[in-house]
Structure 1
Amino acid sequence: MNFIAVFKKYGIFAVLILLIIFFSVTSKAFFIPSNLFNVARQVSMLGIAAVGMAFVLLLGGIDLSIGSQITLVNIVTAWLMVNAEVHPVIACLIAIVMSVSIGFVNGWIIANLKMPPLIVTLSTMTIIEGIAYIICKGIPIFGFPKYFSELGQGYVGPIPIPVIITIIILAIGAFVLNKTYFGRYFYAVGGNEEAAKLSGINVKRVKYLVYSLSGLFAGIAGIVMLSRTNSGQVLAGKGFEFDVLTAVVLGGVSVNGGFGKISNVVAGVLIIGVLSNGLVLLDVSQYVQMVTKGIVLLFAVAFDCIQKNRKLKAVAV
């Protein structure tokens, strides 16, 4: 196995380890149990939403509406619990069904109208964000039952509940991709959509499913975020889709579709979490953090494109 092959397989984990070592040396507050659990809790919503984004990218698509879906789930769930006095469980279920429906609509438009996923999800992102503002008029909603905060703030032993939820979601995502025919369909459609059609795969239904799952995981992430912050806010998911996309692409899921796995996505999510936490501990400004994350995403996509071009040249030869 040559160096490039080894780097492609394990490089993401090496980067994660190097980041941990760097921040451990530069900040005494980084490598302590309380902060490490804090990092794990902070990236839990990112990890949940990343599974849905990974599925979408495997199809060769993209979902920019994830952040706005999380915002809308925050606002709708909060509004139902506080203003309509709906039981928290029912409110959460209604919000998640809504989020899944939004994902399904995205998939239906993309599959049937042949519109670019970038344009479709950018449009729905704007629409959803506007609806969230209309519902709450830009004012935070709070005053939930005390037990609702347990979902985002509670522990099972020493482990935060959001971390447990994230691990379960990531395990489900890995199982779907590796052990089910749905996972094989995702790779097939993303690798070559026309060939997938000729092999008997119903490509439209696969797109409906994938975007609906993206909505499902965004909805779950939104519920966990609401419970953690204990306040429904219109800025809850603002820019969140950027962090999710960066983590997934950094984790090796190809933006061109057909390649990627959940185990590397986990490393990508942790890198974003460690990077964000470490920069905060070093008192680096938010604007520098934005620049850093932008550079990380640019390099991750560039690396993916370079690999694709190499494969195309190899096939041509």
Structure 2
Amino acid sequence: MLKNKIGISSKYSEVVILSVILVILMGMFSIMLPGRFLHPNNLQSMAFQLPELGILALAMMITMLTGGINLSIISSANLSGIVMALILTRVITPELTSTQVNWTILLAVLVGMTVSLGIGLVNGFIIAYLGVSPILATLGTMTFFEGISVVITRGYVISGFPEPILAIGNGTVFGIPVPMLIFIGAAIFVAILLNKTRLGLLTYMIGSNIKATMFSGINVNKIIMKVYTVSGILSGLAALIMVSRFNSAKAGYGSSYLLITVLVSVLGGVNPNGGFGKVSGVVMGLILLQVISSGLNLLGLSAHLTIALWGGILLAVEGIRLLRNKHGLGK
């Protein structure tokens, strides 16, 4: 009887809640912006804007599932992008053939991804084996690698990359932006990793109860190392999209993304204390925020109002969750 009065049942997952809000918002923007909001050009524009934030949100999400956090995802992505940019601008010369250019691009991407992987390993080692709290460890590495990026670039922008790599950030396949395809692939990879592998199961176990997991004979330190390594790799992938999309690399790019990735993760149903959260919820949260941003932009409203509305949506969703949990309606 109580469930009927409240109108919420346990089957209403995070995805369903966000889907309802998304449908309402899309309906409102469609009415307010007839022929503009749902125009293919606007939808494609949103598909270009979402991927780098989306991949960074995935990098944040998987660390939060263990009860941790990774504040270094932006500095990791920027340093990775800067390394790629240096190789692309200093090794590639007009004398190189197209084949040599392509191999150099591949080298740049691999070296950049290796840098971000290495940062992930450093984070994991400091947290797992030195016992430093995730927020302090990644705050330290964030500051350290951001400083290195500034020293390397001297605060300047590195730009002027070959056309093949620019196609990664600005090209389309059957009208679908390449960055969106990369994001979809990354989301599927993380979903499979969390739902179908031992690493994923143990990640949830650590977030739910790390002591019980340790007493079960699980090498918790090893799992944490792997989680932060995956987070680092995802940051490198986001760097590739950022570099290729903007045709430049700089130490301070994407600084505003950090808190938004936390916002998206929590909005998508990730428990800040760990142990609960799904990729599907994070993806829905990303789409929801992008719809709000695009709609308000088309209406000519302030970007500050967009941020305020994002916060309001988060509070509203959290209110629904608290109401549901208070009456024992499950997750």
Q: TM-score, normalised by structure 1?
A: 0.91
* CA apart distance, 1:234: 2.6
Alpha carbons 2:85, 2:159 under 8 Å: kept = yes
2:273 corresponding residue in structure 1: 256
Which ranges in structure 2 are unaligned for 5 or more consecutive residues? 93-100
Task: Quickly say closer, same or farther: Cα 1:93–1:197, change in 2 above 3 A.
Answer: same
| Pick aligned residue for 1:158 from 166, 175, 178 | 175
Task: State how far apart, in whole Å, the 1-side matches of 2:140 and 2:309 are.
Answer: 27
| Pick aligned residue for 2:260 from 234, 243, 247 | 243
> Sequence identity of aligned pairs in percent?
37
| Pick aligned residue for 1:74 from 54, 70, 81 | 81
Task: State how far apart, in whole Å, the 2-side matches of 1:101 and 1:301 are.
Answer: 36
1:24 corresponding residue in structure 2: 30
Task: Give the CA RMSD over aligned residues.
Answer: 2.2
Listed one character per residue, the Cα deviations across residues 183-242 of structure 1 (whole Å, up to 9, x for unaligned) are 110111110001111112110011101111111001101101110111112332212122
Task: State how far apart, in whole Å, the 2-side matches of 1:126 and 1:297 are.
Answer: 28
* CA apart distance, 1:5: 2.3
SS at match of 1:5: coil
Task: State how far apart, in whole Å, the 2-side matches of 1:258 and 1:92 are.
Answer: 33
* CA apart distance, 1:48: 1.8
Task: State how far apart, in whole Å, the 1-side matches of 2:168 and 2:288 are.
Answer: 24
What letter is aligned with 1:179? K
Larger deviation, residues 201-210 vs 236-245: 236-245
2:159 corresponding residue in structure 1: 142
Alpha carbons 1:66, 1:240 under 8 Å: kept = no
| Pick aligned residue for 1:96 from 113, 120, 124 | 113
Larger deviation, residues 86-95 vs 33-42: 86-95
2:299 corresponding residue in structure 1: 282
1:179 corresponding residue in structure 2: 196
Task: Quickly say closer, same or farther: Cα 1:189–1:122, change in 2 above 3 A.
Answer: same
1:226 corresponding residue in structure 2: 243
Task: State how far apart, in whole Å, the 2-side matches of 1:185 and 1:310 are.
Answer: 29
What letter is aligned with 2:224? K
SS at match of 1:43: helix
Which ranges in structure 1 are unaligned for 5 or more consecutive residues? none
Larger deviation, residues 58-67 vs 121-130: 121-130
Task: Quickly say closer, same or farther: Cα 1:205–1:298, change in 2 above 3 A.
Answer: farther
1:45 corresponding residue in structure 2: 52
* CA apart distance, 1:268: 0.8
Alpha carbons 2:59, 2:73 under 8 Å: kept = no
Task: State how far apart, in whole Å, the 2-side matches of 1:298 and 1:219 are.
Answer: 31
Task: Quickly say closer, same or farther: Cα 1:306–1:239, change in 2 above 3 A.
Answer: farther
Task: Give the structure with higher Rg (CA).
Answer: 2
Aligned length: 312
2:10 corresponding residue in structure 1: 5
| Pick aligned residue for 1:268 from 275, 278, 285 | 285
